């Protein structure tokens, strides 16, 4: 190859490297002074990994406490796609989501400093159902059976005392139905109590806990009685006594009344009129009357089914159930509903609505996941690592520059000039392939600086030998590059194979080290062989009369 084309190739590589390192936009999530997390765009030349900018490391496993999962590896594969989609929509810059072994998912979220929120987004099942509230008073009809079941279990005396441990609260609870359903202030207390007693039997352990709400299928339970009710509902005898074809679901809202908090529970038709499998889009919004909401949209098939089903239930109340919890108060169906609807967040903020929307868009998890390991890495540690890594790199470069110039003089200077291009090419290669710079990556970069001059050391020693045999400078340079080539290729190929194995089987930072090492080897081959040879050719062409080579 002629000198002219060599120079053009080197100039082209320098321009391409500058273009690759030109800062580009990267979306990151930043926590504001008010605690609200928002997306922002930063311009960076090279993306940094978890260990350099801080963040979270999560290990997720299948949660078999909720049922045996027969094929965990396949379940992890399906869950991996959902988790990756959620993380992508979470807005994290350069997240890592990958399978580890047959039963674990590794999630690394650089720049995330809100662990609780990240866990909720990753773990939420997001199974969405639309169910009609019961209008047949099935629970009232089943109350005698439920009370009898508890009485037969022998739980009535002990638990009843727990349920009514707060006498003032009990009194308040017995009147809560009237407060929720009618204006008792205009009626004598005795009449109100009689009306309440007629509406809902209160003699049994189960009956004492619940008070009828304002709509069909709606009931209220005092916050202090929630553990007792959940204990009852978990009993097989109570489950067997529940009305067939109906399910009981807890509401997401609490209501304060007379200094006491009450939770809503709903009796719903077990068969959902539609599920979230047809959902195609969801986005957060705010409404002047309902506060924060999540608007959703079904596909054509889902919209058709939703319209058909809602047309059969005009004037009924429809509960929107997410992960077995009723979101907000069930709205009444005024007319057939098409492909669009909304979920009321019940006083929760816009960030909760945003998280729910992204989870709905990503779909529900095929199997429940649990957190097996969680680690937070502080940003200060990352900054400290960057500073130390840069210091180590500067010291390594200065030592190599000093040794090469002192020992090989003019030829060492050519190697140092090539070394500066080596660093440029290596960083550009990392940026061009979208690699993430990690702490081991920094170590790999510093290591590869030393490797970069190895080839030149081999070449220079061969040139010395050729000069010692009395050959001319031009011939010695040609022979030196020719005979040193096999040794250079052998050493670089073996290092490259090692890096390739690390990349294939390593995870996270280990991969970062392998990528940096591979990029460094490629760049060193170009600079130590092609660039230094070009420098020699330029020097020989400009000093044809000079026969002495400083090496």
Burial 57-75 (b: 16+ CB within 10 A, else e): bbbbbbbeeeeebeebeeb
The angle at the Cα of 532, spanning 526 to 537, to the nearest 5 degrees, equals: 125
Contact assessment for residue 344 and residue 328, using Cβ atoms and an 8 Å cutoff = yes
Helices 115-123 and 350-362, axial angle in degrees (round to 10): 30
Read off the pLDDT of residues 363-402 as tens digits, 9 standing for 90 and up.
667 777 888 888 777 655 556 767 777 787 788 888 888 9
pLDDT of residue 431: 80
Evaluate whether 331 touches 318 at the Cβ level (below 8 Å). yes
Structure tokens at 171: 């009194």
pLDDT at 166: 43
Tell me the backbone φ, ψ of residue 368, rounded to 5 degrees.
Answer: -65, 145
Under a CB-based contact definition with an 8 Å cutoff, are residues 353 and 345 in contact?
yes
Instruction: Compute the distance between CA of residue 208 and CA of residue 147 in angstroms, rounded to an integer.
Output: 9
Length of the chain as a residue count? 551
CA angle, corner 341, sides to 340 and 344, nearest 5? 160
Residue 364, helix vs strand vs coil:
coil
Find tokens 């098939």 and name the residue.
301
Q: What is the pLDDT of residue 336?
A: 83
pTM, entire model: 0.50
Gap between the terminal Cα atoms of the chain: 25
User: What is the model's pLDDT at position 196?
Assistant: 44
Residue numbers of the chain with a pLDDT score lower than 50: 157-199
> Which contacts qualify for 370-373: CB closer than 8 Å, 24 or more apart?
370/60, 370/61, 370/62, 370/63, 370/65, 370/123, 371/58, 371/59, 371/60, 371/119, 371/123, 372/59, 372/60, 372/61, 372/104, 373/57, 373/58, 373/59
CA distance 439 to 110: 13
Question: Under 8 Å CB-to-CB from 338, ≥6 apart: which residues?
Answer: 303, 306, 307
- How far is 162 from 170, CA to CA, in rounded Å? 11
CA 207, distance to chain mean position in Å, is: 44
Chain centroid offset of residue 110 CA: 10
């Amino acid at each position: 190859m002629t000198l002219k084309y060599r120079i053009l190739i080197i100039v082209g590589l320098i321009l391409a490297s500058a273009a690759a390192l030109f800062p580009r936009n990267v979306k990151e999530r930043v926590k504001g002074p008010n605690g609200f997390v928002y997306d922002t765009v930063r311009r960076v030349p090279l993306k940094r990994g978890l260990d350099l900018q801080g963040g979270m490391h999560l290990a997720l496993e299948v949660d078999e406490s909720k049922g045996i999962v027969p094929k965990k590896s396949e379940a992890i594969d399906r869950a991996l796609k959902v988790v990756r989609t959620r993380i992508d929509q979470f807005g994290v810059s350069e997240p890592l989501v990958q399978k580890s072994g047959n039963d674990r998912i590794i999630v690394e979220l650089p720049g995330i400093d809100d662990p609780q929120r990240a866990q909720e987004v990753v773990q939420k099942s997001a199974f969405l159902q639309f169910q009609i509230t019961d209008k047949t008073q099935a629970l009232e009809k089943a109350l005698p059976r439920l009370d009898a079941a508890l009485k037969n279990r022998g739980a009535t005396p002990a638990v009843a005392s727990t349920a009514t441990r707060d006498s003032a609260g009990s009194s308040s609870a017995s009147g809560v139905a009237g407060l929720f359903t009618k204006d008792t202030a205009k009626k004598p207390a005795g009449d109100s109590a009689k009306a309440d007693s007629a509406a809902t039997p209160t003699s049994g352990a189960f009956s004492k806990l619940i008070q009828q709400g304002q709509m069909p299928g709606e009931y209220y339970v005092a916050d202090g009685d929630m553990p007792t009710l959940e204990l009852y509902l978990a009993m097989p005898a109570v489950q067997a006594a529940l009305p067939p074809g109906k399910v009981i679901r807890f509401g997401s809202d609490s209501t304060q009344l007379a200094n006491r908090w009450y939770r809503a529970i709903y009796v719903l038709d077990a068969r959902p009129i539609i599920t979230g499998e047809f959902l195609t889009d969801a986005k957060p919004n705010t409404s002047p009357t309902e506060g924060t909401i999540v608007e959703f949209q079904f596909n054509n098939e889902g919209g058709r089914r939703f319209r058909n089903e809602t047309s059969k239930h005009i004037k009924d109340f429809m509960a929107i159930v997410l992960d077995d919890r009723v979101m907000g108060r069930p709205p009444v169906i005024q007319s057939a509903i098409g492909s669009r609807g909304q979920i009321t967040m019940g006083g929760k903020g816009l960030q909760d609505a945003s998280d729910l929307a992204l989870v709905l868009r990503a779909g529900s998890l095929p199997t429940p996941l649990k957190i097996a390991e969680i680690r937070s890495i502080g940003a200060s540690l990352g900054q400290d690592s960057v500073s130390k890594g840069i210091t180590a790199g500067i010291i390594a470069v200065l030592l190599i520059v000093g040794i090469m110039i002192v020992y090989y003089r003019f030829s060492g200077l050519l190697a140092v000039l090539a070394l500066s291009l080596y660093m440029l090419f290596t960083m550009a290669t990392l940026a061009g392939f979208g690699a993430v710079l990690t702490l081991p990556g920094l170590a790999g970069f510093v290591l590869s600086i030393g490797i970069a001059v190895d080839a030149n050391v081999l070449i220079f020693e061969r040139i010395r030998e050729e000069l010692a045999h009395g050959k001319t400078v031009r011939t010695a340079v040609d022979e030196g590059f020719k005979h040193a080539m096999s040794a250079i290729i052998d050493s670089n190929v073996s290092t490259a194979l090692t890096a390739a194995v690390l990349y294939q089987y390593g995870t996270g930072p280990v991969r970062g080290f392998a990528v940096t090492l591979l990029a460094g080897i490629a760049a060193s081959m170009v600079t130590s062989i092609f660039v230094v040879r070009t420098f020699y050719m330029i020097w020989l062409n400009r000093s044809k009369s000079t026969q002495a080579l400083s090496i």
